[in-house]
């Protein structure tokens, strides 16, 4: 704790030099230094933060900078076998979630299960229980280890591993929304020590209580009583249902989808969001805000599934 406070003070003294660029897209996205175009490297999911200048140096004490964008989520070899997400390099969160059905709205008709892999992948950062740099397979010389295949927690970060690729963080933070003043929100929230200078991420830290979020791990009705207020997806494989807007038989990144992970086709975080960002009008164009797969102007995204 003492260490963290000292670091905060050190950083705070740097801050008067930080100028927040006011952004032309602020009306359609949370203010950001990233361009949100071209690819994941220019989005907030680039955890090296290599493209935003001084802000990235500011964070070096709080997360390992592995120098590679994909590696915070994927690895080409030695991926995490505990979770059915593509070549997944993150520690799997072992948190138990309060699911949306526990809010007991009387209108919900579909079954809600624990979040599926395409939600757990996101929650491994967004539920705040793990460091954002908690990965299975570290890049660089001597970093390879399979220890994380069995112990799905991030205590190893403080004990046995040093970052071979760049600055080795002194504390490994997550998007903790439970302990005031701790984790990334120590700076990235209003009223924090240096809050005025860092973007407010309070809304992005979902926590483990999912009652205030659109249901995930919820079955999508394709027939029967619950189906009537929904549009029928036009494309599908054994594991995926999708709204095939361009009729090419493939689930393109800008097409809303449902995932089958053992309990029927379900809505997950990645049904509505693509974590790499989706170009809104061809490659090189501005991404849809907040990693959405489709523009939600006029609630178009909602109306892809719902008939209202
Ligand atoms: C913040 C985490 C994150 C980062 C960073 C990231 N990915 Fe992904 N990626 C995911 C998740 C989650 C999925 C599964 C989402 C889905 O179902 O579409 C995925 C899926 C994929 C897929 C398979 C599905 C698809 O969309 O085609 C490929 C290929 C892929 N990622 C490549 C990359 C590459 C290459 C990079 C680096 C340039 C990268 N990703 C960076 C989280 C990430
Ligand atoms: C490696 C950690 C990590 C993973 C995995 C991850 N995120 Fe994020 N995400 C972040 C960080 C860091 C931010 C920046 C804000 C913050 O720190 O709270 C962010 C921001 C976002 C934002 C806000 C973006 C904006 O510019 O407004 C959305 C939406 C989002 N994530 C959705 C997702 C979804 C959906 C998934 C899974 C498909 C996912 N994330 C997986 C770390 C992650
Ligand atoms: C000591 C304070 C501090 C801590 C702790 C901190 N940050 Fe930051 N962060 C900053 C400052 C200052 C900036 C530059 C101003 C800005 O862009 O918000 C910044 C910028 C960012 C940005 C770019 C924001 C944008 O879109 O322009 C991201 C993403 C980010 N931080 C993620 C994180 C994550 C994830 C953590 C936890 C692992 C974290 N930060 C911890 C101070 C901090
Ligand atoms: C049914 C579609 C849908 C699902 C499922 C969904 N989201 Fe979102 N999400 C949205 C939309 C739409 C927005 C933009 C809201 C806005 O503009 O304020 C959003 C915004 C966000 C944001 C930015 C903060 C905010 O409140 O604006 C984050 C972070 C995020 N989602 C993460 C997730 C994660 C993690 C999951 C899975 C647990 C998830 N989302 C599931 C549709 C969805
Ligand atoms: C991928 C398909 C999909 C998308 C996109 C989607 N939903 Fe849903 N939504 C569902 C399913 C499935 C349910 C569960 C319906 C049920 O149980 O009767 C649901 C349930 C709901 C409920 C009812 C919750 C309750 O307690 O009865 C509301 C309200 C809702 N969604 C709003 C939205 C909004 C607003 C958006 C856009 C931001 C959206 N949905 C986008 C599939 C989707």
Ligand 1 neighbours, Cβ below 6 Å, are: 40, 45, 69-70, 72-74, 85-86, 118, 121, 253, 270, 274-276
46 pocket-lining for ligand 4 (C-beta < 6 Å): no
pLDDT at 189: 85
Is the per-residue pLDDT at 251 higher than 50? yes
User: For residues 158 and 103, is the Cβ–Cβ distance under 8 A?
Assistant: no
Task: Calculate how far, in angstroms, residue 299's C-alpha sits from the geometric centre of ligand 5.
Answer: 12
User: For residues 152 and 158, is the Cβ–Cβ distance under 8 A?
Assistant: no
pLDDT at 29: 43
Element (H, E) at 266: strand 265-267
The number of helix segments (H) and strand segments (E) in the chain equals 6, 5
Share of the chain above pLDDT 90, in %: 56
205 pocket-lining for ligand 4 (C-beta < 6 Å): no
- Give the C-alpha separation, 69 to 77, whole Å: 16
99 pocket-lining for ligand 4 (C-beta < 6 Å): no
57 CB burial (10 A radius; 0-12, 13-18, 19+): middle
18 pocket-lining for ligand 3 (C-beta < 6 Å): yes
Closest CA to ligand 4's atom 17: 290
Which ligand 4 atom is at minimum distance from the Cα of 204? Answer: 29
Mind listing the pLDDT tens digit for each residue in 202-238? 899 999 999 999 999 999 998 887 888 999 999 999 9
Which among 215, 254, 271, 272 is the best mutation to test ligand 5's pocket, defined by most ligand atoms within 8 Å of the CB?
Answer: 215
For 172, the token pair is 């490994």
Task: Calculate how far, in angstroms, residue 303's C-alpha sits from the geometric centre of ligand 5.
Answer: 9
| C-alpha triplet 77, 165, 175: angle, nearest 5° | 80
pLDDT at 28: 38
Distances (CA, A) of 71 to 79, 102, 276: 11, 35, 13
At 96 the three-state DSSP class reads coil
Mind listing the pLDDT tens digit for each residue in 157-177? 876 778 888 888 988 999 998
pLDDT at 124: 97
* Most confident of the following: 56-65, 186-195, 217-226, 244-253: 244-253
pLDDT at 57: 83
Which among 74, 175, 258, 265 is the best mutation to test ligand 1's pocket, defined by most ligand atoms within 8 Å of the CB?
Answer: 74
Give 138-193 as a DSSP string. Answer: --STT----GGGT--SSTHHHHT---SSS---SS-----SSSTT-SGGGTSSTTST
Q: What are the φ/ψ torsions at residue 271 (nearest 5 degrees)?
A: -65, -40
List the alpha helices (DSSP H) in 78-129.
117-126
pLDDT at 284: 86
Closest CA to ligand 2's atom 40: 122
Closest CA to ligand 1's atom 12: 121
- Give the C-alpha separation, 133 to 273, whole Å: 21
123 pocket-lining for ligand 3 (C-beta < 6 Å): no
């Amino acid at each position: 704790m003492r260490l963290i406070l000292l670091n905060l003070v050190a950083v705070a003294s740097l801050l008067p030099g930080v100028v927040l660029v006011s952004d032309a897209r602020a009306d359609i996205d949370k203010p950001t230094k990233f361009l949100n175009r071209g690819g994941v490297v220019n989005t907030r999911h680039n955890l090296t933060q290599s493209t935003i200048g001084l802000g990235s140096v500011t964070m070096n004490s709080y997360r390992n900078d592995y120098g590679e964008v994909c590696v915070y989520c994927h690895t080409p070899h030695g991926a995490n076998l505990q979770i059915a997400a593509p070549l997944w390099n993150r520690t799997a969160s072992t948190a138990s979630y309060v699911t949306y059905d526990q809010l007991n709205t009387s209108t919900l008709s579909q079954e809600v299960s624990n979040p599926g892999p395409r939600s757990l992948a996101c929650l491994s950062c967004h539920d705040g229980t793990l460091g954002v740099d908690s990965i299975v397979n570290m890049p660089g010389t001597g970093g390879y280890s399979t220890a994380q295949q069995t112990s799905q927690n991030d205590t190893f970060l403080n004990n046995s591993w040093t970052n071979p690729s760049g600055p080795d963080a002194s504390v490994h933070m997550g998007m903790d929304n439970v302990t005031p003043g701790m984790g990334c929100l120590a700076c990235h929230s209003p009223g924090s020590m240096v809050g005025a200078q860092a973007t407010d991420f309070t809304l992005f830290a979902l926590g483990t209580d999912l009652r205030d979020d659109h249901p995930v791990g919820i079955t999508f009705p394709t027939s029967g009583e619950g189906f009537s207020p929904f549009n029928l997806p036009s494309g599908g494989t054994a594991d995926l249902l999708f709204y095939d807007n361009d009729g090419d038989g493939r689930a393109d990144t800008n097409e809303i989808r449902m995932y089958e992970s053992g309990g029927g086709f379900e809505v997950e975080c990645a049904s509505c969001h693509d974590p790499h960002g989706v170009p809104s009008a061809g490659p090189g164009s501005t991404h849809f805000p907040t990693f959405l797969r489709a523009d939600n102007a006029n609630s178009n995204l909602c109306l892809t599934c719902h008939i209202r």
